[in-house]
Amino acid sequence: MYLRNYPADILKVVLSLLVVLGHINSPYTYSIFSFHMPFFFILSGFFLDKNVIFKNIIVKDSKRLLLPFLVFSILGFVTEILKRIILSRDLSSIFEVLIDAYFFINSEAAYYGFALWFLPVLFLGKQMSFYMLNQRFLLFSFFLSFVLMTELDVVRYIVNLPFGVGKAYFVCSYIIFGHLYFRFSATNKNAAWIFSVLYLLLFIDKLPYFDIGGGQVPGNISQILFPIFLFCLVYPLLTLFRFSLFSKVLSFVTPSLMLIYLLHPYTNNISFVFFNVFLGDNLWYATFFGSVLLLSPVIFLKHKFSHWKIFEYV
């Protein structure tokens, strides 16, 4: 029988809400971008099974990650083109948007699928991490090269390589850490907490900034390690709570997190137009709650009609 990892579930729910908030012009956007996407990659490493057949992982992740990327990126382009036509905006830059979205897998692509970069990068990152976890020499070589290229300030250029290859290389460090942490976490968690707190105090004045999709990542290893130490502090704390009391709520919400990620650019925009354009004020908190409210029916639809074919992939 499969036992849910409740701390991981609650963390994914919180991170999904932070993604919605992070893509709204709020006072907390910079702080959110200091850790939220690395956390997603770390959690993906929790569930990476290095003992399965490599071909099976490719097939499974192609359906779960690449198929939604293709479908929702096309939907994003259609929506963007229709919006520009209706609002009489320039269409000449659409080709540039296509290059950013599909060639560079860049979140700077100015269309409704700007957040979709995460899906192909996670796909590539998982395949690369799987292969390295099964080849110890490659694993050692990866970490050695990663530290070296970070200290030489080369990683910030690598993340902008075409087809998301550089971004996948960068996030492998978090995926592999998540895999190893989940299986070999230290028994003396108190010492890990103390060490993590001391390390995080180094960033009390200036947090690192991770816009991985946009190709903006920290230029030194101490900043790149920030999300890892923060995770080592947060995750053990979550294990102290009895989230099993909320098991029904978590089992209701977590299957819809992919849909929330895919649809939040649309609900953010609708909520922004309503609260900021019609009401004429920069109500970022209203935009956030309005977007979450608009996403709520998605959760109910997924729960009620989970047997539908379309929900097998999202």
| pTM for the structure as a whole | 0.94
Return the minimum-mean-pLDDT range out of 109-113, 132-136, 238-242: 238-242
pLDDT of 239 above 90: no
The answer to whether residues 227 and 181 touch, using CB atoms and an 8 Å cutoff, is no
Best CA proximity match to 64, nearest among 44, 50, 43: 44
DSSP string covering 167-225: HHHHHHHHHHHHHHHHHH--S-HHHHHHHHHHHHGGGSS-----BTTTTB--SSHHHHT
Distance CA 216, CA 156 (A): 7
Most confident of 19-28, 115-124, 133-142: 115-124
Q: Which amino acid is at 228?
A: I
pLDDT at residue 60 in the model? 92
What would the two tokens of residue 208 be? 């690192």
**H helices within the chain, ranges in order?**
6-22, 29-32, 36-46, 54-61, 67-86, 94-98, 118-133, 136-151, 155-158, 165-184, 189-200, 221-224, 226-238, 247-253, 257-272, 284-304
Quick: pLDDT tens for 190-203. 556 666 776 777 77
Confidence of residue 206 (pLDDT cuts 50, 70, 90): confident
Q: What is the CA radius of gyration of the chain?
A: 20
The answer to whether residues 91 and 82 touch, using CB atoms and an 8 Å cutoff, is no
Quick: pLDDT tens for 217-229. 998 888 999 999 8
Mean pLDDT of the chain: 89
**pLDDT: which is higher, 76 or 195:** 76
Distance CA 159, CA 231 (A): 23
